[in-house]
Amino acid sequence: MGLGYAGEDTPDSRPGADDAPARRTDEDRARAAARHVAEPRATTENADFVTGSAVTARASATFAPEGRSVATARAFVRDTLQGWGFTDLVDDATVLTSELVTNAVVHAGTSAELLCLREEDGVRVEVADRYPDREVPVHAAPYILTDPEREGGRGLQLCAALAARWGVEYSSTHKTVWFRLDLPARPVGTRSAGPLLPDELLPLADGHVHVAVVQLDAEETVSAWNEDAEEMFGYAAAQVVGKPLTDLAAWPHTPGTGTGVAEALRLSRWEGSYGLRSASGRVIPVYASHLRVRDAEGAPSTVCLLVHDEERAVLQAPLRPSRKDGTGRGEPTSPDAFETFIGTPPPEDLDGLLQRTVERARDMLEGDAAFLLLATDDETELEVRASTGLPSARQRFARVQVEAGVGRYGSARMPAVHEDLKDVPGAVPLLDGTGMRSVVTVPLKVEGRLTGSLGVAAEAPERFTNEEALRLQFAADRIALAVESARLGELEKLRRGSLSFLVEASDLLAGTLDRDQTLALMAQMTVPNVATWCAVYTIADPASEPYLSYVLHEDEDRIDGLKALLTRVAPPEPVTTPGPRVWTEPAEAAHQAALRDSMRSLDPGELTLVGSGIGDTLATAAAVGGETVVLPLVARNRVIGMLTLGKPADEHFRQEILELAEDLSRRAALALDNARLYSERNAISQSLQRSLLPPEPLPKVPNVEVEVIYRAAGEGNEVGGDFYDLFPIREGVYGFAIGDVCGTGPEAAAVTGLARHALRLLARENLPGPAVLERLNAAILDEGARSRFLTLLYGELHPREDGSALLKVVCAGHPLPLRLHQDGTVSPAAEPQPLLGVMDDLELYEESVTLDPGDVLLCVTDGITERREGTRMLGDDGLAEVLKGCTGLTAGAVAARVMRAVANFAADAPSDDMAILAMRLPGIHQD
């Protein structure tokens, strides 16, 4: 970069001219103006190009095509104009220079040549770049402003808003944008002067204006009290010296800002209104100007100047003078530079508004960086929402405490100027490690409530003053309401989306009682809607350690590496405290693993062994390198697991997302616990159901094929009432039974267990079939209110050597057994008799049937015969038709065909338990 400056020098005599392309002489400028008249397509302006004013001084500089050049160019223009005495033009000139140099070194990507020309009544600034093809559309006057969001038109829009005249000039090698700012007309020798007013419009004051001078020591107690203070408040100096001034203050807050008097006394400079209680008890409104000073020993003290509030004009700092508009007609206007920067209309979205705010705040104070934080709902923390000049990706949504640091620098509720952050380390945690040395921060407040904080930082120390803090505070007050409105609008959208998300999540979680599916839903609902990755830990019982049950990442290629990393890390401590808590172990473990692998990769001997895994290790470290939070899964006052959510490297969770995740974790915990309870109940029911069925395998009956099919209805959470059994009674005799207890659940299971075990015991006492069932009937009735009706088919099977078999059966209210003859005919194998569990006196009888070789005996429960499709029912006749088609089939094939026919009879799932017991006599095979 070459810098040059001259007070009254010609272009050829300025230093550094050899290092930069020669600037245009007056003759060159005249030729350029002629080209402009001849070729209007090549030049765009909104006023005359040639001003006619004599150039009294010039300064030039060339800037390299890099982002840091923008700040250097602003400093160059500021120092040049202040050296010329044009302090009133510094703000607008630096802002316009910042935009135009940005266009050159950032958007055009070329070096920027900057020329400042001092004229008698103003200053002209030219910015040239080496990108002549980057044209600006020509419009008829007045200039049609482009969209403020467009990078290419924003600088020209600012020129149109702030400059008295401006234009664009093209040549074969350069494109030059220039602007001119006029000096405001004011009496010579005055720094700032108010408007000329008629006498009747001058502020009122007493014949003798009293200015109370009060000095406070380091403890903020009164150390000096002048005569005017005695006159205004009625206290003699001896009455108040040694007392805190705040004891006399009657107003707890400053109107409009919410700053307390005690806080205002600690600021280096402050102006505002509050009240002091006089000796008579009357509150006297005063306007005060406070200045913090040091005595010869270096002890701080505060000097307070106070006047009656209606006489505030005596102390109040004058407003900045009005500027004339660009028409040159002298009509007074009062454009606010910050409002111009934000643009009209401002961005509709919150992020766009915040980003433009920090950019304009940085340019307004000519800082190197700027940031804006928004307060959480409880105002205890601030979230970084926009920044420029800082690593925004690393800082976005990072949270800092409202009260941090020491002394006045620690509060975000007041303006603060940090002259050197090295003197107050940690005062602004956001800037730690960024290289920034000085910073000014101001609060954003709406109706006295803290809504955010706006700050501008610089790499040089002692860069900002209290005057610049007042300017930034004024800008913050202007934008605070717009920011808060946009924030509330975004928050409302987010909350509506959160409600819809939670409703959908609740429906999905309530739609399953499967534990594994619930875990999968929990993870899939959070990734990527809430977090980049998710891990669910479960706790079986209070004495168990957390177990990593499910891991999900939005990039499926990262799941295995993430799972391996979390397996090596000790699980988070289960606590019942609600709310998210930060968990740093995964990020630290991933960082250490990546560091170890990277160091091993430097060893040539190990490069081939670890080289393939370095990429995965680094990718895993990046995946978990951001903020990780743990939310407890609490259900029924017990921690049943933890929901872990993570962000990739340098990312943080925003507060509203964490609140949404907390709501989701409560619903997920209840759903997971319900799934656990259901699984336990289902396991108990299945275990009980298996205990009610005979042990497998069934005994082998000589010369008899036996096949059993059992299908429980539903999902197995209720114990069914159907059962079957086949057992040896004595040598050569086998008992078989198939029954159905009325109802389901524990009561039905009790009767089922009683029936199956009683049948075996009674049958092995060599009792005939009717006696067995009569005693079973008495046992069921003894159960009293727990008794249930029972239909039962019981029989004894006596295989014979000739391949036939003798059956002795009793059918107590059960579907009749069907016999399939070898010729394909089907007939009942028993007669119906009364069911059990209804009456005391039963007169049951036993029937004997001889089965021939090739015959099939089919026994079923009513879940088979009562299979329905609308008004149709399979019934006994339908079952007989199915059985007729089973001639020649084995017992297993017969049972399978019957079950298939029953399943195909209706589209709906069966609503009742079904049991099939098929026996076939194949006959004796002789070699």
Kindly report, residue by residue over 226-263, the tens digit of the pLDDT: 999 999 999 999 999 999 988 888 765 444 444 567 77
Query: Which residue blocks in 431-542 are alpha helix, DSSP H?
Result: 466-510, 515-526
Question: What integer is the mean pLDDT of 606-612?
Answer: 43
747 to 591, 725, 742, 839: CA distances (angstroms): 60, 20, 9, 19
Give percent of the chain with pLDDT exceeding 70. 77
Q: Taking the alpha carbons of 440, 445, 448, 450 in that order, is the dihedral positive or negative?
A: negative
Q: What is the mean pLDDT of residues 711-736?
A: 80
Measured CA angle at 747 (ends 741, 749), to 5 deg: 60
What is the pairing mode between strands 212-216 and 856-860? Answer: unpaired
The values of phi and psi at residue 374, to 5°, are -110, 140
Edge-to-edge strands of the sheet including 705-711? 705-711, 914-920, 856-860, 818-820, 826-828
What average pLDDT does range 380-407 have in this prediction?
66
**Confidence tier at 815 by pLDDT (50, 70, 90):** very high
Whether residue 491 is predicted with pLDDT greater than 70 in this model: the reply is: yes
Tell me the mean pLDDT in the region 625-641. 85
379: pLDDT strictly greater than 80: no
Mean pLDDT of 207-216: 88
Question: At 179, which helix (H) or strand (E)?
Answer: strand 175-182
Helix (H), strand (E), coil (C) string for 47-58: CCCCCCCCEEEE
pLDDT of residue 409: 35
Mean confidence (pLDDT) of the chain: 78
pLDDT tens for each residue of 441-459: 988 888 778 888 899 999 9
Radius of gyration for the alpha carbons in the chain, expressed in angstroms and rounded: 46
Q: Cα–Cα distance between 268 and 274 in angstroms, integer? A: 18
707 CB neighbour count, 10 Å cutoff: 17
**What is the pLDDT confidence band of residue 431, given thresholds at 50, 70 and 90?**
confident
Q: Which range scores top for mean pLDDT: 194-203, 545-554, 652-661?
A: 545-554
354-380: buried (b, 16+ CB within 10 Å) or exposed (e) per residue? bbbbbbbbbbbbbbbbbbbbbbeeeee
Confidence bin at 733 (pLDDT 50/70/90): very high
Phi then psi for 599, rounded to 5 degrees? -70, -40
Order the strands of the 628-635 sheet from edge to edge.
547-553, 533-538, 638-646, 628-635, 581-582
Residue 600's pLDDT is what?
60
C-alpha distance from residue 110 to each of 2, 23, 69, 76, 159 (Å): 15, 17, 11, 19, 21
HEC letters along 744-785: CCHHHHHHHHHHHHHHHHHHCCCCCHHHHHHHHHHHHHCCHH
492-512 pLDDT, tens digit per residue, is: 777 777 777 778 778 888 878
Asked whether the beta carbons of 24 and 12 are under 8 A apart, the reply is no
Helix (H, G, I), strand (E, B) or coil at 559: helix
Whole-angstrom CA distances from 395 to 351, 460, 480 are 14, 22, 22
What number is the average pLDDT over the span 555-583?
84
Say what the pLDDT of residue 195 is: 54
pLDDT at 17: 37
Q: Cis before residue 697, ω within 30 degrees of 0?
A: yes
Which residues, other chains included, contact 38 with Cβ-Cβ below 8 Å and sequence gap of 6+? Answer: none
- Rounded to an integer, the average pLDDT of 720-727 is 84
**Which helix (H) or strand (E) segment is 609 a member of?**
helix 607-623
Question: Is residue 921's pLDDT more than 90?
Answer: yes
Q: What pLDDT does residue 807 have?
A: 94
In this prediction, residue 278 has a pLDDT band, given cuts at 50, 70 and 90, of: very high
- Specify the pLDDT at position 318: 61
Residue type, 214: V
In the predicted structure, residue 43 carries a pLDDT above the cut 50: no
Q: How far apart are CA 813 and CA 753, in angstroms?
A: 19
Question: How confident is the model at residue 927, as a pLDDT?
Answer: 42
Q: Which of 295-309, 439-453, 541-555, 794-808 is predicted most confidently?
A: 794-808
Q: Which amino acid is at 489?
A: G
Q: Of 46-55, 299-308, 505-514, 560-569, which gets the smallest average pLDDT?
A: 46-55
pLDDT of residue 701: 92
Residue 307: phi and psi, rounded to 5, are -130, 165
DSSP 246: G
Can you count the helices (H) and strands (E) in the chain?
A: 21, 37
Mean pLDDT across 721-732 = 89
φ/ψ of residue 338, rounded to 5:
-65, -40
In this structure, which amino acid lies at residue 649? Answer: A
Write the CA distances from 138 to 40, 44, 104, 135, 327, integer angstroms.
8, 5, 19, 9, 20
Phi, psi of 541, deg, nearest 5: -150, 165
Say which residue the tokens 């000085």 belong to: 438
Say which range, 185-189, 206-210, 782-786, has the weakest mean pLDDT: 185-189
Q: Which of 59-73, 514-528, 727-741, 903-917 has the highest mean pLDDT?
A: 727-741
Long-range contacts of residues 241-247, Cβ cutoff 8 Å, at least 24 apart: 244/219, 244/220, 245/214, 245/216, 245/220, 245/221, 245/304, 246/220
Q: Give the residue, 782 or 37, on which the prediction is more confident.
A: 782
Q: How much is the pTM?
A: 0.46
Alpha helices in 844-890 (DSSP H): 862-865, 875-884
Q: CB neighbours of 783 closer than 8 A, spacing ≥ 6?
A: 750, 751, 754
CA nearest neighbour of 58 among 21, 113, 10, 2: 10
**Cβ–Cβ contacts within 10 Å for residue 425, how many?**
11
Residue 566 pLDDT exceeds 50: yes
Tell me which amino acid residue 217 is. Answer: D
Q: What percent of the chain has pLDDT over 90?
A: 22
Please tell me the predicted confidence (pLDDT) of residue 154: 57
Q: Write out the two tokens for 621.
A: 């470290």
- Cα–Cα distance list, 758 to 182, 685, 745, 762, 771 (Å): 113, 22, 20, 6, 12
Six-digit token pair at 649? 């490297």
**Quick one: which H or E segment has residue 79?**
helix 68-84
For 249, other C-beta atoms within 10 Å of its C-beta total 19
Residue 41 has pLDDT above 50, yes or no: no
DSSP reduced 3-state for 592: helix
pLDDT at position 630 over 60: yes
